[in-house]
Amino acid sequence: MHYANTPSWRFTQGTSQMLHAALFIRDAATLPVPATAPVPPPLINHPEPVDVPHPLDREVLAAQWLEWWSKLVNCEMSEDRPSQGESSDDTALRMDRILQQRKTVFDPPDFDSLRATPQLQALVRQNFRESLLWTKEVKPRKPPGSSPGASAFPRSLVKNVAEKVAMTHDVPIADVTGAVQVLRVEGIWSQPTAPGRMLCSTAAAAHPDFATALLRDTFVSGLGT
């Protein structure tokens, strides 16, 4: 993940390989996940379709995938929060915690974490290598005029929004924190996942007005957490 911070406000943004891999499997297998479900739109770069071997059932797979997606999001969006007794400066301890936490939801190549949903486990085992290759080949979209290493949200915009939130809500600037995962999915889309946590599309992050509102909502929802 990429970190942008000062001694005051704190903001984390990233482009999760794990979440993109799961979306690849959903889209490549054309799983009938309900349009009303709290999931992102299709990927921008549609993967080539893959066969779903008999006797795997797409309806069952869709339901199992939806449950898996929720667990993946919860895992990804909680990684930047220090655990009880863990210093935010203890990088080694934090990385070990993240690795152990990920193994409970995403543990290639066997994916023993999915043994309770054997149909999904079989599908993920079959396609996870292709999904990871796809995520490596697809480069994140940068805002127009940005430098090669620029993040989806310009630091100047994040700083401006964070300071306005602190002033508007009369809170210490250090109380203003947030995290966003940017996904390469279609359209201008966003979804809160927890207080101070948000998923969004690349188009949402690149749209100045939408990005400003998204950052404000993220920071405000995280106040007091």
Name the residue with higher pLDDT: 83 or 172.
Answer: 172
Question: Which residue, 169, 161, 157, is CA-closest to 224?
Answer: 169
Q: What is the mean pLDDT of residues 96-105?
A: 84
Q: pLDDT tier at 80 (50, 70, 90 boundaries)? A: low
Helical pair 155-168 and 208-222, crossing angle rounded to 10 deg: 50
Cα 44 from Cα 36, distance rounded (Å) = 19
Give the dihedral of Cα atoms 110, 113, 117, 123; nearest 10 deg: -30
Give per-residue pLDDT as tens, 33-43.
Answer: 998 999 999 99
CB distance 139 to 202 below 8 Å = no
**Range of lowest pLDDT (54-63, 93-102, 112-121, 196-205):** 93-102
| CB-count burial class (<10 Å; 0-12, 13-18, 19+) for 36 | exposed
Tokens (6 digits) for 131: 């999904």
Cα 87 from Cα 97, distance rounded (Å) = 12
- In percent, how much of the chain has pLDDT > 70? 84
Q: Is the model's pLDDT at 1 over the cut of 80?
A: no
Output the pLDDT for position 100: 85
Name the residue with higher pLDDT: 137 or 21.
Answer: 21
Output the pLDDT for position 150: 52
DSSP for 170-220, written as a single string: T--GGG-EEEEEEE-BSSS-EEEEETTEEEEEHHHHHSHHHHHHHHHHHHH
Output the pLDDT for position 2: 42
Output the pLDDT for position 54: 82
Q: How far is CA 154 from CA 61, 144, 145, 167, 200, in A?
A: 38, 11, 11, 20, 15
Q: How far is CA 9 from CA 164, 179, 219, in A?
A: 11, 12, 10
Q: What is the mean pLDDT of residues 62-73?
A: 97
Output the pLDDT for position 138: 64
Output the pLDDT for position 84: 45
What is the pTM (predicted TM-score) of this model? 0.86
| CB-count burial class (<10 Å; 0-12, 13-18, 19+) for 136 | exposed
**Range of lowest pLDDT (73-77, 138-142, 163-167, 172-176):** 138-142
